[in-house]
Structure 1
Amino acid sequence: MAEATTGPVRLRPIALPVEHGGWGFLGAPIVLGLWVAPSVAGIWLGLAALGAFLMRQPLKLALGDRQRGRRYPRTVWAERFVALYGAGALTALLIAWLTTAHPFWLPLLLAVPFAIVQLRYDLLKQSRSLLAEICGANALGALAPAIALCGGWRMTPAFLLWLLLALKATSAIIYVRARIRLARGVPAGRAPVYLTHAVALALVVGLAAIDLVPWLAGAVFGVLLLRAVLGLLPRSLATPTPIVGVQELGMSFLTVAGIAVGFQMGL
């Protein structure tokens, strides 16, 4: 592998994710899982997920440099951060396994294909493609059922948490992508956004009707549909992108709170 020299190495772009929206997709399932089923093992599992999440950026850089047959000073630092984050994630995962009396592996194993797809797109430099973003968000969503299982939840309601988060994440990604494109004057269809949100709402209401999820979750998805309609109005498109990101974090917290309170209080 050829050595390459560059200027001073900036550690922040190596050590931390450049896509800030990923933090919301990481935080939502951790907060939801710990809210409905708090446990020591669940906390350690959340820390393990944080380590794995942080490892993605330096791993993407290190593997990309290796693919090009080049080795930069940043490559060394990327490998160091991969080792640091990986060791932290494995240690936390081991502690979670040692401190729980309940198996939590199944949702994590089922999330692996989603994570592999996202990593593949990372290496192809297509991290912002629709499929990559959806797979990445849904891989992180598996943390909610895993943490709930650590806290003693049964398998079916635990996996329903993942389904609810997957519906929210998928519809939110499609909405934000369309909103940003329209704000930049790039053609984008509103119909797929409305359809995705309407289907998500219908599924949640159907699950609530057969007592599998709380009705409060259905109300939350109704708010998300209203947000999508209002957010794509021409007058809303002038909102700066950072503000849109903050609004989406608020929507994530609203979703988590509505689902958690609904399950806890049977609403």
Structure 2
Amino acid sequence: MTIQIDQFPCRADNFGVLIHDSASGETALIDAPEETAILEAIKRTGWKPSVLFITHHHADHVEANLSLKQKFDLKIIGPKAEASKIPGIDQTVAEGDVLTFGGEEVRVIETPGHTAGHVSYYLPKSGVAFTADTLFALGCGRLFEAPAPVMYESLKKLAALPPETQVYCGHEYTLSNARFALTVDPTNPKLKARAEKIEKLRAEGKATLPTSIGEELETNPFLRWDDAAIRKNLGMENASDAEVFTEIRKRKDNF
């Protein structure tokens, strides 16, 4: 693998991500939450970005688009469904589109739910996915622009990626998500162990990301709609998978 990844904190709880292809020297940025933090990361790594991949239009993901475009002559790529809301966009993408970064493919996966046009970016050669505010460690994004069944279908797509896929998310929400997950899936030993690890990491000021698809399938209740213990705990043994997901999302909204 020639891809190197630098994840760094932005704003109150966002993450910025630089990805660098050592063979070609090409660098990309995933979302643009905050100019100062991004410029510091560029200076620290020495990686000058030429492309900016945007996942969705929310201000805490596009705030620095125009200033960074001016400084680095970035090409800004983002979801077609939200093009009018993304500052400086040059190229739109949709489900199934395949881009090239360095020496490998970047596959576009439409993952609406948090916003109506949210996309995730998947690099199969490196085994990395950038899911922003669709899939979080032990959670999923709040539903602002689409109903729960839409988010459920998006999460199904991500859950189908290879279990070893490393997942980079848009926010450091894992501690709160872990505490909620234990209310839904309290008898899961892997979740209990992970929650203890997360408590320790956050107490030390360390990031809990990246995660992996495999780890999320074992511990994230938003991907475990078919788990018998969760269904029994919710009193939803005979409900559809989408109904179970919807109930879990409602409970998280009120947690």
Same fold (TM over 0.5): no
Q: Give the structure with the larger strand fraction.
A: 2
So what's the TM-score if we normalise by structure 1?
Answer: 0.30
* Relative contact order, higher structure (CA 8 A, sep 6+): 1
For normalisation by structure 2, the TM-score amounts to 0.31
Decide which structure has greater helix share: 1
| Structure with bigger gyration radius | 1
